[in-house]
Amino acid sequence: MDLEAVGKMAELQDDLTPLQIGTTGKYKGKAFEIIGRMKVSYNDGFWNEWYLYFSEGKHREGWLAEAQGFYAVCFDVDERVAPPRSEASSLKPGRCIEFQDRGLFEIEDIHEVKCQVSEGELPVNAPKGRESLSIDLTGPDVQMATIEYAKDEIRVYAGGYQDFDDFKFHNLREIEGW
Amino acid sequence: MAETPKESQKKKYSARKFDCTRCGAPIEIKYPGASLAISCPNCKVVIDISDQNYRILSKYFDKTKEYDPIIPLGTRGKLFEKTWEVIGFMVRRDKLSGYSWEEYLLFNPYYGYRWLTRNNGHWSFVTMLKEKPYSSQAALSRVFVNRVDFRDNNYKLFYSGHAVVAYVFGEFYWKVKTDSEVWMTDYVSPPYMLSNEWDNRELIWSRSEYVAKDVVKDAFKIESMAGPQGVAPNQPSPYLKTWQTMRLLWVFFIVVLIGINVVTASRALNYSAFRQMYNFTMNGKTNDTTTPVFELLKDKANVDIILKADVDNSWFYISGELVNEDNGDTYYFERTCEYYHGVDGGESWSEGSSTQNILLSGVPGGKYYINFDTESGDFRSIGDRNFTLQVQRDVPNAANFMWSFFWLCILPVISWLNMRHFEVSRWSESDYSPYASSSS
């Protein structure tokens, strides 16, 4: 009996997301498939980070952040735009950070997050239990970004929000009654 | 190298049940995968459902205040082309005035959350924004401003104050607490309203769109629903379209009217067809004076008979007929010239005029003469005086223009008044009314 799988099943029992591994869609016209996921939680909630594989384009790997019906796709960017780790604890919502040619981004919220459960393929090793300080930012024209201060790395992602219908999703999870 | 979807991922989604931490009543969470807080239908405490021990979020609950949602929780309806289920109900009030409004939390597992707000019976559909409105007054969004721009619309500040959660019922995607408060600012551009809520940790922008009462009533199949009262901040004005159309037509017709006037005035011959001075004896009468024959040019035009009598605290009366020599057509006229003046109690006064105009319209061209009788009166003097009779042909007529202008203005003015009255009512509830002087 695979205890880990049983544990995962329990963790995902209350899962209510229309996405799943194998869901395909398009972001700004580029086709992708979902190949992995991390469900992260913080003090006042949780969200899903879906790992994407694009079959075309410059960026082959991306993330789809899904929270409360908002969907944003983002890609790895140079982590040097992020303030140094020593400043991380002093960052506050409302502060603006220059994202090179993407413009000025404003900090929306800051959460201490923990990876609750993961599945599929991920670029991170042993993701479960991984802790980080996650900073969400919004930029001009529905752009978004995330700065993640993890134990031994700083990761920065930038991208944009897109409406559910514009993703033209296929192979969505069936949600009973809907 | 994508994985193929596994069969196990086609899980069934089910509600979760537990017993109320406070009163023990059974509670069912309909969407445990999305909700974070739920209220106990029995004792109304709000419970944290992300907590394994079902911690109580709001310990205090004022039982004397109960509100009934008009749309029962669990009801589904189609609004803006999507199906929404009402899963939560919240009453919020303005801390200062105590004025309260209702908010219905809508859920769709694909599209997330929306709100329906009910304010004085007016409904709005609210979507949270990830895109920030822009203000030319401040680079940062956390500064209080009078106007903001969002997607080609300019929004005006309507309300700002503390909004307090007065009552919650159902399930919510955040850990809602009664008595929690946010600083809220509303900006309007009907049918939209932008709201900004700030609680020192988070700043949320949302956009409301006005929804007619019957749309909500039909969508959620509500039997009866009280109608709205007053004018809502984001209610579209029923008079605005009429006024805008009217304004365009108005400008158009005024331009046309001015054009017509300019053309007719420039084409007017405006010449003196006849002019002669006559004598009259004060307090006397003359009968049957006939003028020489004069010619009126043009097929049809007006005639201005100008009478100028030498009256000074006296009157002069003329009654006459303009006769067409060829066919005998006759135009009768009569008029009194009187002019009085004096000093009364140290103030000088005057009334009347020694010149009178008699305008006859549409007089055909031809040869004409005038027959007239006169009469005059003066209490103080007798003696000979003069009067002049002049016939001016085809004069530019300002009266036509003025009357046309007047009639042309009536509908636009009514339309503008309606429009303005509606706006004044809308802004009467605001502390930032541009019509502040006309609101009580």
Calpha distance A11→A8 (Å, rounded):
5
Residues B31, A68: C-beta atoms closer than 8 Å: no
Average pLDDT over residues A83-96: 88
Q: Does B140 touch chain A (CB under 8 A)?
A: yes
- Which long-range contacts does A111-114 make (Cβ < 8 Å, 24+ apart)? A111/A42, A111/A43, A111/A44, A111/A136, A112/A42, A112/A43, A113/A40, A113/A41, A113/A42, A114/A40, A114/A41, A114/A42
Domain total in chain A: 1
Q: Does B174 touch chain A (CB under 8 A)?
A: yes
pLDDT of residue B78: 96
For residue A25, what are the CA distances in angstroms to A47, A61, A168, B144? Answer: 19, 14, 5, 40
**Parallel, antiparallel, or unpaired for β B384-393 and B271-281?**
antiparallel
Task: Choose from A11, A15, A16 for mutation: most chain B CBs within 10 A.
Answer: A16
Min distance B1 CA to chain A CA atoms (Å): 8
Per-residue pLDDT of chain B (440 residues; tens, 9 = 90+): 444 444 444 445 678 899 999 899 999 999 988 899 999 988 888 999 988 889 998 766 655 567 889 999 999 999 999 999 999 999 999 999 999 999 999 999 999 999 999 999 999 999 999 888 877 655 445 556 888 889 889 999 999 999 999 999 999 999 888 888 999 999 999 999 999 998 877 788 999 999 999 999 999 999 999 989 999 999 999 999 999 999 999 999 999 999 988 888 888 889 999 999 999 988 889 999 999 999 999 899 999 999 999 999 999 999 999 999 999 999 999 999 999 999 988 899 999 999 999 999 999 999 999 999 999 998 887 788 899 999 999 988 788 889 999 999 999 999 999 999 999 999 998 989 888 764 44
Which residue in the block uniquely carries the two structure tokens 């106990």?
A: B40
Assigned domain for A156 exists: yes
Question: Which chain A residues are closer than 8 Å to B78 by Cβ?
Answer: none
Which residue in the block uniquely carries the two structure tokens 């939680």?
A: A41
Assigned domain for A20 exists: yes
Question: Which chain B residues are closer than 8 Å to A144 by Cβ?
Answer: 130
pLDDT of residue B421: 95
pLDDT of residue B230: 93
For A68, which of B10, B112, B141 is closest by C-beta distance? B112
Assigned domain for A178 exists: no
**By residue range, what is the domain housing residue A49?**
3-165
Calpha distance A157→B334 (Å, rounded):
94
pLDDT of residue A147: 96
- Kindly identify which residue of chain A lies nearest to residue B76, measuring between CA atoms: A178
Calpha distance B193→B187 (Å, rounded):
6
pLDDT of residue B333: 95
ipTM of this predicted structure: 0.90
Q: Does B108 touch chain A (CB under 8 A)?
A: yes
pLDDT of residue B187: 95
CA-CA-CA-CA torsion sign (B379, B385, B389, B390): negative
Q: What does B58-117 look like in DSSP terms, one character per residue?
A: E----TT-----SSPTT-EEEETTEEEEEEEEEEEEETTT--EEEEEEEEETTTEEEEEE
pLDDT of residue A148 exceeding 60: yes
Q: Does A141 touch chain B (CB under 8 A)?
A: yes
Assigned domain for A13 exists: yes
Min distance B250 CA to chain A CA atoms (Å): 40
pLDDT of residue B9: 46
- Kindly identify which residue of chain B lies nearest to residue A108, measuring between CA atoms: B202
- Kindly identify which residue of chain B lies nearest to residue A34, measuring between CA atoms: B2
Task: Choose from B30, B35, B83, B110 for mutation: most chain A CBs within 10 A.
Answer: B110
Burial class (CB in 10 A: 0-12, 13-18, 19+), A8: middle
Mean pLDDT taken over chain A: 89
Neighbours of B234 (CB within 10 A): 24
B-proximal residues of A, 28-57, CB under 8 Å: 33-35, 41, 44-46, 53
pLDDT of residue B271: 93
Assigned domain for A171 exists: no
Asked if residues B165 and B180 have their Cβ atoms less than 8 Å apart, the reply is: yes
pLDDT of residue A5: 61
> Per residue, what are the HEC states of A61-106?
EEEEEEECCEEEEEEEECHHHCCCHHHHCCCCCCCEEECHHHCEEE
Name the CATH topology of B269-395.
Jelly Rolls (2.60.120)
Domain-wise residue ranges, chain B? 14-219, 240-264+400-429, 269-395
Instruction: For residue B291, give the 3-state DSSP assignment.
Output: coil
Q: Which two tokens stand for residue B90?
A: 């919240």
Assigned domain for A80 exists: yes
Confidence of residue A45 (pLDDT cuts 50, 70, 90): confident
Prediction pTM value: 0.80
Q: Does B152 touch chain A (CB under 8 A)?
A: no
B-proximal residues of A, 99-118, CB under 8 Å: 106, 108-109
